[in-house]
Amino acid sequence: MNEKIRLGVIFGGRSGEHEVSLMSAKSVLAVLDLQKYEVTQIGIARDGVWWSGVDVLHAFEKGITTGLNRVAIMAEPGNTMLYRRNPKGGIEELTPLTDLDAIFPVLHGTFGEDGTLQGLLELADVAYVGAGVLGSSVGMDKGLFKDIMRANQIPIVDWVISTRKEININIGSIIAKAEKMSAYPLFVKPANLGSSVGISKCKNRSDLMGGILDAARYDRRILIEQGLNAREIEISVLGNENANVSVPGEIRPSDEFYSYRAKYIDGKSELIIPAPLTPELTKQIQDIALRVYRAIDCAGMARIDFLLDKETHKLYVNEVNTIPGFTSISMYPKLWEASGLAYPQLINQLIELAMDRKQERDKCERTYSRS
């Protein structure tokens, strides 16, 4: 009998999306085949401390860490051990806890989806689910992502980017720049966050000022973009170099846009799968989704969001999520289920893709000698 794959599932995180990560992790942990995987739960608290032990998720949901072990992964190749941190007499000892074959980061937002955790896992030389450092960081930063989309002639709405320091010095000039870029409504977003945290739909100058100040609470880079009267279409991508796409789905939010409340609280938003689109438009969305995926060197998975203008019928890429939600209401797994891939099989494929990606990385030579 083959040995089980030793899988670490990481959740929580130092991000405004901490609670969403816990919801996603609950769904993932519920479907993991314990005959196939030896699962170690690793929770990252809001202060960035890593914890492991018995039923970490339940402890995090209650906001406690009593009875858990502080743990760490070493940033060195060939050592995929998860260590228990033991403070003794002012000195911290590391005790081996479990070796890990692969990591499944079920983290959203900063310090989890933005390439930082991926960098640590690359240094540790361990297989992990999802995009690498490049794809994660580009996918996370909405401003940089738009630059790359424009360079690849992929349609996006107009935008301006600003920093918190610029806002503190002269918020009026930022507002003037945004108003010159587009008429209202405008959307304001933290450049590096998801789950609609810190996003505002602004219908006038007063809204815009408030939206900018709110977004600046969550990130040092702020995105202001043109607002459209649009249908919200999402599609899931799965794979490494040879990726596949799901059927598209449509979101009809209960709020003015797909806000945090509409996503996770009121339960009134409609998810229409498959989206009512013509075959030609469906094919166009699928083709563009693959172009987006390849343009940022994505791997494993991504959910790509589109805006379909109700007036002009033009299609725009809105953003990419390299670690999409895995909650019971999340579009990423629902779209794959509608495409014939059940949730447990989806999780298995993602872990297999992580192992394949690691094998491909291992083919790179790390030394050079002149002949």
- pTM score: 0.91
Report the distance separating Cα 104 and Cα 353, nearest Å: 11
CA angle 117, 17, 79 (to 5 degrees): 20
Token look-up 């314990």 returns 34
Domains of the chain: which residue ranges?
5-128, 159-226, 228-360
- Per residue in 78-133, pLDDT tens? 889 999 999 887 788 999 999 999 999 999 988 999 999 999 999 999 999 999 99
100's enclosing H/E stretch is: none
Q: What pLDDT, on the 0 to 100 scale, is given for residue 367?
A: 86
Alpha helices in 40-151 (DSSP H): 56-61, 116-124, 133-140, 142-151
- Per residue in 31-44, pLDDT tens? 999 999 999 999 99
> In this structure, are residues 219 and 197 in contact, taking their beta carbons and an 8 Å threshold?
no
> In this structure, are residues 56 and 43 in contact, taking their beta carbons and an 8 Å threshold?
yes
5-128: CATH number: 3.40.50.20
Strands 249-252 and 270-272: antiparallel
Look at phi and psi of residue 257 and say left if phi exceeds 0, alpha if psi is from -120 to 50, else beta.
Answer: beta
228-360: CATH number: 3.30.470.20
> In this structure, are residues 238 and 346 in contact, taking their beta carbons and an 8 Å threshold?
yes
159-226: CATH number: 3.30.1490.20
- CA-closest candidate to residue 306, choices 324, 291, 321, 285: 285
